[in-house]
Every structure is written in C-alpha cells, then in structure tokens.
A and B are shown apart, each in its own frame.
Chain A
Amino acid sequence: MSEIASHVAPPLPAAADKFKFYGLWAGAAAALLLLPQIFTSGGSLTTFSLIGISIIFSLSYNILLGQTGMLSFGHAVYYGLGGFLAIHAINIITANKLPIPLPLVPLIGGLTGLFFAALLGWVSTKRSGTAFAMISLGVAELIASSALILRTFFGGEAGISANRTKLLRLFGWSFGPQIQIYYLVAAWTLIAVIAMYALTRTPLGRMCNAVRDNPERVQFVGYNPHTVRYLAFCFSGFFAGIAGALAAINFEIANSAYLGAVQSGTVLFATYIGGVGFFIGPIVGAIFVTFLSLGLSDLTPVWQLYFGLIFIAVVVFAPGGITGLLMMHRPLLKAGTLTQMLPSYLMALVPTLAMIVGLILSIETIVHYTVNPGDDSHIKAFGVSFDAASPTIWAMAAILLIGGFGVARKTWTWVGHAWDGATSVAREKGIAA
C-alpha cells in the first residue's frame, strides 16, 4: 500500500473489526442452531421457518428498492415461479428417482427466479421510477392471471402439490418433521443473507447505490445505468426464487397466491416498515411483519386495516422504517444523552397509547355496525370484550381518541424539544447526528 492510500483512505477493517464482523455471523449461525432448543413447539418452528423465508424475500426486494432505487409492484412473480418450479422439480425428481436431495431444490427455485428476471427484466429496467413500477405491475398481473389459465403448469385454483419426503436422503433426513424444514430454511437464510450482504460490498453493489442516487451522473463515469439496474434485477429475482422455493417446500404446495398482488404488496410492506436505508432493515421488517400477520389475525377480523394504518404511520412519521428510527438514536447513545430522551418518551407514551386505544375502540365499533350489524353487539377484539352498542363505550372511545390526541400532540412537541437538546449535545461532542 502506498503512502497516500494509507493516510488518506478510510482505514481498512482492523483485526478486531474483522473478528467482530465474523463473530456476528457466527453468532447468528449459533442463534439459528439453538433457537429450536428454546422454542420447541411445532407452531414456533413454523413461525421461524416463515420468518426465514420472509427475510430472504424482503432482502431480495431491497436489492431493488433500497439499493438500486427501483420500486417494484410485482416482485412475487419471481418468488412464485421459483416456488412452482421447486414443486415441479420435487415431483420430477421423485418420479425419476434422480439423485438430487431436497436441500438443493431451493437452488432450482433461485435459478428459475434468475431466468425469468433475466427474461422479463431487460425492458422494464430501461427506466427506473414510474415506468419501472408500472411495467412491474403489468408483468405481475400478466403472470398472475396466466397462473389461473395455464392449468397444467400452475394447477389452477388448487395449485400443485408435492411430497417433500421422497427424495434422496442425506444423513437419513426425510424432511418430514418441521424441525428439519426449519434447519433447511435456517441454513439457506444464512447463506442468502451473507451472499446479499457481500453483494453490497462489490463494485456492482456500490454502483447500484450510485444509480439509486443519480442515474444521470452514472453515465458520465462510464457505467450504463440500465445494465446496473438489470444485473440488480437478476440478483433480486434469484434470491426471490430461493425464498419462493423454500415456501413451496415448507407448505408442500404452490398456488396462484404465491404470484399475486398480495404477496408483492406484503414484501414491499415488510421491507419498507423495516427500513430500506439499512441492510438489516428488511430483516427487521420481515420478523416484525411475520409476527404481526400471525398475531393480529387472531386478535381482530380487520387485521389488514391495522396493517394499512401501520404502513401509513411509518411512511408519514418514520420514512426510515423501524431500523431508521432506532439508528437515529445511535449518536445520542454514543454521546450519552439518550437518557435525556426517556422522560419525554414516557410522557408521550401514555396519551399516545390512550389515543390508539380510542382509535381501536372506534374502528372495532364501526366495523361491527358496517360489517355484521345483525350480530350480537358484545364483541371481542385484542382479547378484550366490550359492548359495541353501549353509549358509554362510544363516549370512552371519543374521549380517548380526541383527548388522547390533544394531550399527545403537546407531549410530541416536548419530545421534539428534548430531541433537539440531546442531538445538539451530541453534535457538540463531534458526533454526527
């Protein structure tokens, strides 16, 4: 290394940093390994498997949205096609007794995703922005509707199913029990996460960011932004295909819902809520949204409405997502001024929660009267029973909602002041906020 690079360039990771970095991956691997020892029930194993699949899918989506600045409304196409091909592959392998074990099937899904992304992506990646978003939507509709028409391949409404246990066995694993599926998903999740992280540290990965920031200028440093977007799209399709194949293996079925708009919307939702600006954001989002969708649907019939409200709240108040919100506090933590924020947070928490309770009461009451007005008015939402016909409840809802909002607004201003104080201290200490 020459003189200049050694004193001007950012320091290369020292041995301690490298140790920390590889330690992080090793820790993640250990955690994945030990998780089933702590949560042994079949339900939690299924949940973990779904989370792993969602993590791969969301990270693959963020290659487009967060890394390269492409908003896709049809990412489920590559997920779904990966899933269908995986099911067909399992059936073909079983029928012909081919020497291919189940753990390799996700690779088939990935290659399927890659193939279709390479095929369909060239035209759509010519432009980013609205044109790309609209084409992605059109392609998604096209593929989703073909799924219902081309019955021999997609199996129509019922979909195509397969038996995952009849393939070549490795170490005597049949992949019948959920625990074995969990380990399969966990291994692929770890591999895919590492691969996608590594991708961000390559020349292509850095140019993806440049294309996101300023595609025009990219052309004047020798790169064709179309090629950069296309390659990003192919990688994204590949990892989405792996996720789809794992989902198909998990459920032993692939149907048209895999390709549909809801699936495309969910991945956008998870990625955005987690935060597109950080590599870890989609992981956080995938965990949060999987828990939320499994949990909320037990608590209320209109869980999708709450999903929507949460999404709007994130877009409006925390465009950086959950991760962005947490990362904002890092300078304060370094400066030691985070504790200054706690009183104002606690103060804001009470009226804000009251407001949310009031909102939930109002929503559930309105839902009762609009959706099933003939039913018994004693309804149960979020584990609490109340009488939707009682004026006391209406009054309570109104007071909590309006009063809560009135008080909460004041406390939010305090939070703002406390924030300004805490960040200015951090800035004085030379820590960039």
Chain B
Amino acid sequence: MSAAIELCGVEKRFGEIAIIRNINLSVAQGERHALIGPNGAGKSTTFNLISGYMAPSSGSVLMRGEKISGLPPYQINRRGLSRSFQVTNVFANMSVWENLRCAVLWSSGQRYAFWKNIDRLPEVRERTAQILEDINLTARRDVPAGLLTYAEQRALEIGITVAGGADVILLDEPTAGMSHAETERAVALIRRLTEGRTLLIVEHDMSVVFGLADRISVLVYGQIIASGTPEEIRGNPKVREAYLGEEAA
C-alpha cells in the first residue's frame, strides 16, 4: 500500500533563501505522525507545501501515490486532505453551526448548488450536528465564531478541519496557547476525531507529541534530521543536541 503522504526531495526557496531543503518524508496510512523542530525550522511551510497553499520549488508531494503538489488547495482538499491553521482561521461573522456546515457541504456533494434549500439537506444537517457534538460546542451553536473563547475557537478550528471527512488530517499546533487542562481536552478530542485516519501534526508541547504520535520526524533548518518512533527519537543524540536538549531527558 502506498503511503498516505510522501514528500520526495521537496525544496522551497524564497528568492535566494531556501526554507525547505530537500525533505523526504513518508507517512503511512492510519499513522499519527508528529513533526517537531525549533521555531523557524520550516514546519508550517511544510504544511503549506503539502496542503497546496504553496507549491514546492522542486520535488513533489504524493498522496496515496498520486502527485498533489502544484494543485490548488481546494482540489487537494477534495481528494481527502484537510488542514488546520496555527493562527485560528474560521468564518468569524458566521455562527459555529454555519462554520461547521460550510465545512461539510462539499463532501456531501452539494457543490455550488443554488437550487437547493440549505435547511432541506438532512445529510448535511446530521453530519454538522455530529461534528458540533464531537467538539463539545453544542451550547455555543448560534454564537458567531469571532465571539468564542480562544480554546473554543481552537476546537472549532479542529472541527472545521475534520468535518469534511478527509482521511488525511494536518493539524498545525492545535494546542498552542492553551492551558494545561485545555491541552488535555484538546488531545483527547484529536485522538477521538482522528481515529482511523492519517494524522500529521506540528506541535511544540512535547507531552502532546510523545503521548499522541506513532512516529516523529524532527525538522531543523529545513531538513529532516531524524525520523522514527518516539523511543528512537528520544534516544537519538543528534536530536537531543539540536532540539530536545534537557527538556525531554
């Protein structure tokens, strides 16, 4: 079986500066894979390259063996890859319900329909309700997304990301800025919602990373210096030197 996501010799340059230098990475189907590394290592850029937000300068990104690099984000999304954003990126003036419903519409085959009443689409209603309950925002259903608390917005962000039923999920620092208790809840949520799907996650909180991931890749200065199980990464001297330091010892 071909890998869910495979990066082959991916490079991204902005002018003279190479942000991503020759990344090779393979994420198997159903795997929870964490991407860690110091600030400015290129983790978010890697996400942007995979999700189609940017095109790589060279190399290619494959999804289940098919090349997706160069496609626009919405086409990559339609093939079953969905991502969240590090900075909350929701539809601020629309209610929580509407946010989630927008994320459900395409995958329930509504496309650009202008002849159907949105309230008469039972499948859309049901899937939206399911996600709403999954992210525990039922009580906040009719509140505009812009008025939610930070933790609620992060939960909505994850909800929008998984609502379309994509089987490859990319989460960019989903617990950043959360308190300890909020982080625990968020991790439980992520674990539950990505059950049976492929997850690629960027995260700074090492307890989250080591608790959640099946495999970990370490990105430093635009290159992957190590890739392996949590134990292998923990024991890798190169990683300890470059990144983990005493923190994870």
> Residues on A close to B: CB < 8 A?
1-2, 4-5, 8-10, 12-13, 198-199, 201-207, 209-210, 212-214, 216-224, 227-228, 231, 235, 432
Contact = CB atoms under 8 A, between A and B. Distances in A.
B2 interface: no
Nearest to A432: B143
B91 to A, nearest CB: 4
B91 A213 contact: yes
B89 interface: yes
Interface in B130-157: 130, 132-133, 138, 141-143
9 contacts: A8-B132, A198-B117, A202-B117, A204-B114, A212-B93, A214-B89, A217-B160, A219-B74, A222-B106
Given A203-B105, A204-B114, 19 more contacts: A5-B125, A5-B129, A8-B132, A8-B133, A9-B126, A201-B117, A201-B119, A203-B118, A206-B102, A210-B94, A210-B102, A213-B93, A216-B89, A217-B90, A219-B77, A220-B74, A223-B106, A223-B112, A227-B112
Interface in B71-98: 72-74, 77-78, 82-83, 85, 89-94, 97-98
Contacts of A219: 52, 72-74, 77
A265 B98 CA distance: 32
Nearest to B80: A222
Nearest to B142: A10
Interface of B: 51-52, 72-74, 77-78, 82-83, 85, 89-94, 97-98, 101-103, 105-107, 110-119, 121-122, 125-126, 128-130, 132-133, 138, 141-143, 160-161, 163-164
B91 A10 contact: no
A4 B111 CA distance: 24
Contacts of B85: 217
Contact of B115 (A9, A10, A202, A223): A202
A2 B138 CA distance: 16
A221 B77 contact: yes
B105 A206 contact: yes
Given A202-B115, A202-B118, A214 B73 contact: no
Contacts of A202: 113-118
B105 A4 contact: no
Given A8-B138, A10-B141, A220 B122 contact: no
A222 B107 CA distance: 8
Contacts of B101: 206
A8 B119 contact: no
B133 A203 contact: no
A5 B111 CA distance: 22
A213 B89 CA distance: 10
A203 to B, nearest CB: 4
B61 to A, nearest CB: 16
Contacts of B93: 209, 212-213
B78 A203 contact: no
Given A202-B114, A204-B113, A220 B83 contact: yes
A328 B119 CA distance: 27
Contact of A214 (B74, B83, B91): B91
Nearest to B141: A10
